[in-house]
Amino acid sequence: MARQTNFSNRRNRSLIDPVNILQNAKYINNGLTITSDNTDINKRDENGNIIVEDNRPLIIETNSYRIPNSDMLEILDTRFTYFKFPANTVIEDIPDSNIELDLDPIYARYRPASSNRMPSQIFEGNGIFNGIEFSFIEEGLPQKAANTYYISKEIKNSGVNLRFRIRLVHSYSAASGTGSLFFTIMKNGPSVGGLQRTYKGPFSSNGGNIVAGAKQTVDIDLVIPNWDFEIGDYFQIGAVAGQNNDDQNHVLEAVPSYWVITDANKNVDEWNQPIS
């Protein structure tokens, strides 16, 4: 009987797999949390269900993935460090500050956008003046219509007189001989009932004569009284040249030329800066 028992023990020892022993040891040492998919430890049927056998331990594998409560509390604490409820409203008194904005409804400084030829229409010695390009706004009042200074309600109702300061730098391109060029201030609108091509002028340098290859400057400084314009009027610079072809033409230079409009009652320069 003893031999049979010893033989049975030797047979059972021969069925023990040392690899399985090592695998099972970690489950025993680490505790029980989740079921193992190792079929050598827990057998399963065809549907994946664990088969529980008598006298065979049910091994549960340790779960090493977890979020401690301390980490979650730290996240919540950080969130409420920056956002606290209910919200508090803080009203601070801001001292009064005197801010003066220098907005001049009169001032404007225009110049040509590019150098260009002057118009020429000569009939029996009488010049027909046409408006010239002065669309580049260097400062101040925008143009309601291109190349013009428009009289708005604010300008008329202010009661001010307007001061026009104009510089026209032009040259004559020709092989030889003498050319001619004249400028005017043109006006249109309700106060005149139609275009006045020579409202002011003509203006010229050297009697309007210029020799081939020469350059001239025409400076105009005049005051337009408030009674002489109405809301809706507009002013423009006009010109007429005696020559305008590929061999003989007059060109107005863009950068040095300008048209400045200011309040005539103010002692200011061409950039609307006070003159001391």
Q: Are 264 and 144 in contact (CB under 8 A)?
A: no
- Do 116 and 170 reside in the same domain of the chain? yes
Helices (H) and strands (E) in the chain, counts: 4, 17
The answer to whether position 74 is within a domain reads: no
Q: To the nearest 5 percent, what fractions of the chain are helix, strand and coil?
A: 20, 35, 50
Which among 159, 167, 143 is positioned nearest to 225, based on CA atoms?
159
Q: Please state the length of the chain.
A: 276
The answer to whether position 32 is within a domain reads: yes
- Do 119 and 252 reside in the same domain of the chain? yes
Pick the last residue of a domain from 65, 87, 119. 65
- Do 142 and 58 reside in the same domain of the chain? no
Residue-number span of the structural domain to which 56 is assigned: 2-65
- Do 116 and 253 reside in the same domain of the chain? yes
The answer to whether position 221 is within a domain reads: yes
- Do 135 and 48 reside in the same domain of the chain? no
- Do 115 and 204 reside in the same domain of the chain? yes
- Do 116 and 204 reside in the same domain of the chain? yes
The answer to whether position 102 is within a domain reads: no
> What are the pLDDT tens digits along the chain (276 aa)?
444 444 444 444 445 667 666 666 666 565 544 455 666 666 777 776 777 776 666 666 555 545 566 766 666 666 556 556 566 677 777 666 565 556 799 999 999 999 999 998 765 556 799 999 999 999 999 999 999 999 999 999 999 999 999 999 999 999 999 999 999 999 999 999 899 999 999 999 999 999 999 999 999 999 999 999 999 999 999 999 999 999 999 999 999 999 999 999 999 999 999 998
- Do 244 and 120 reside in the same domain of the chain? yes
The answer to whether position 78 is within a domain reads: no
Instruction: State the total domains in the chain.
Output: 2
